[in-house]
Structure 1
């Protein structure tokens, strides 16, 4: 009996040392394989009391996934954090997308792979955060296919993917006022005709670059944007809107050019006149 009393603690110590995953979930989730894609949660450091994490989606060659606003077609991603522990708030930051045009229309996409930075505020500072994510997203080559993944990771502020998350954060459009004197800017917006819900947006971009404008309005509104003309003017059209809609209606214009991205907030008044 004395021998057993001496060896049991040693056995427990050996089990915990060899299988630390029993103590807590890993700092990053394993890849979840889906059709032509895979996804995982990654973790970084702690900044300003918030944990940095990321949703990483890798795609098979030739496939795309969609930005928060998919464009003419596609599925906007949906993220459910209901199973998380010690989480007060989750904020997703969106790196700038690319404009993709095919016979189905214009879509706003990420190609090859993307990391969506996630800023997590804990309920109790100093304690580990368990981040649980149920993710639904679309992937596309010729047609759009829904994908689903369930992921879980523990955030302690010492995650191994800080560099990847920081790189993605650097690609998030920065807020900028209308008409800002900057190398890349939304210079002005004006109504094309009083009887048409169409606007002309003039943008500034570095010489030799081709700007892309991504307009967004509230849920159930749909805005389309043309490619810029030779004077860097983009035509934005209100294709659909709720019948009961009235102003002012917030509109976010994301501009991407030359590897840089900004976003400018404007609004439409009761007569759909831009302000």
Structure 2
């Protein structure tokens, strides 16, 4: 039995990623939201058909590594959902760029483990309900406030998909008082971000092979840390790839075998770099793998 959590959503009429998005753009309802002035602690909410978003901060001193904690808070309306960084068969991956920020050495948005969503039209990857995507912010000068500006692109989806493109702004100050509820939300989301696989980890992809033929496929063997808990696997290819989702072929104890069509995989000089996200119960692992493609 396929042990992944696969809630059934309302029917989608979504567009597609990359070049395929342009062909279906007429199905989208565009929403362009202009940002208001930045406020300490959180940005104003920005609303669109299907939900609303804002930037939040944890406040308090920077972490031991010098990073401030912030987050993109996403609140879809009931029965709506939003996408992971890779949306799956269709949709719009969630992205944020921070080039317009002030006093920022680096800013990285990280993604908690997502879920697979199946409807009669497509299989997608993302989140239902309130979601926080943590943002790790490192200032150039620790004694100067950070003006964090995020140019965000995401989609809210139900029967239609509503792309939202906006700039959100918030200020992070040195030694600002802790905002306990927002800090708790960001830290809870951080706890669900997949960890990088290390040698000897119980949860990992242990083997990948290429099955040649008219329609070449990958055979992916995953080692589970909790065989009785729900599990799933998500695979991202290099830029320009348009992959489907892996299909579970069998589970034998703590091993699960998936297959994935190579159709849509971008290959360079006979090789392709894959990013694999394996989810098992409350744990998730992130792994890179380079394959030879005949």
For Structure 1 versus Structure 2, the TM-score category normalised by the shorter chain is: 0.7 to 0.9
Alignment of 1:1-150 (within 5 A): 25-44=39-58, 45=60, 46-47=62-63, 48-150=65-167
Unaligned runs of 5+ in 1: 1-23
Equivalent residue for 1:171?
Answer: 192
Confirm whether residue 187 of structure 1 aligns to residue 206 of structure 2: yes
Cα distance in 2 between the residues matched to 1:144 and 1:32? 17
1:249 correspondence with 2:267:
no
Aligned to 2:52, the other structure's residue is in SS state strand
Q: Using the alignment, how far apart are the partners of 1:120 and 1:51 within structure 2? A: 5
Structure 2 residue corresponding to 1:223, chosen from 240, 243, 261: 243
Say if 1:34 and 1:149, in contact at 8 Å, map to a contact too: no
Deviation, structure 1 residue 128 = 0.6
CA contact (8 A) 1:85 1:130 kept: yes
How far apart are the structure 2 equivalents of 1:130 and 1:226? 40
Larger CA Rg, structure 1 vs 2: 1
**What does residue 259 of structure 1 align with?**
282
- The alpha carbon displacement at 1:227 in A equals 3.4
Task: For residue 207 of structure 1, report the CA deviation from its aligned partner.
Answer: 2.6
Q: In the aligned structure 1, how far is the partner of 2:219 from the partner of 2:40?
A: 50
- State the alpha-carbon separation in 2 of the partners of residues 254 and 241 from structure 1: 17
What is the Cα-based RMSD across aligned positions, in Å?
2.0
Q: Deviations over 1:207-233 (max 9, x none)?
A: 322321100111111222333233221
More helix by share: 1
Alpha-carbon deviations, 1:90-147, whole Å to 9, x = none?
Answer: 1111111101112222111111121111111212222110112221211111232212
Q: Distance in 1 between matches of 2:122 and 2:264?
A: 16
Q: Deviations over 1:43-84 (max 9, x none)?
A: 124111121110101011111101011111000123232332
Q: Secondary structure at the match of 2:123?
A: strand
Corresponding position of 1:211: 231
Q: For 2:126 and 2:39, how far apart are their aligned partners in 1? A: 32
TM-score, structure 2 normalization: 0.77
Counterpart secondary structure, 2:118: strand
Cα deviation 1:223-269 (Å, max 9, x = unaligned):
22333233221102222144x72244221110011121001211122
Q: How many residues align?
A: 245
Per-residue displacement from partner, 1:10-32 (whole Å, max 9, x unpaired)?
xxxxxxxxxxxxxx832211211
Counterpart Cα distance in 2 of 1:239 and 1:104 = 19
SS at match of 1:168: helix
Structure 2 unaligned regions, length at least 5:
1-37
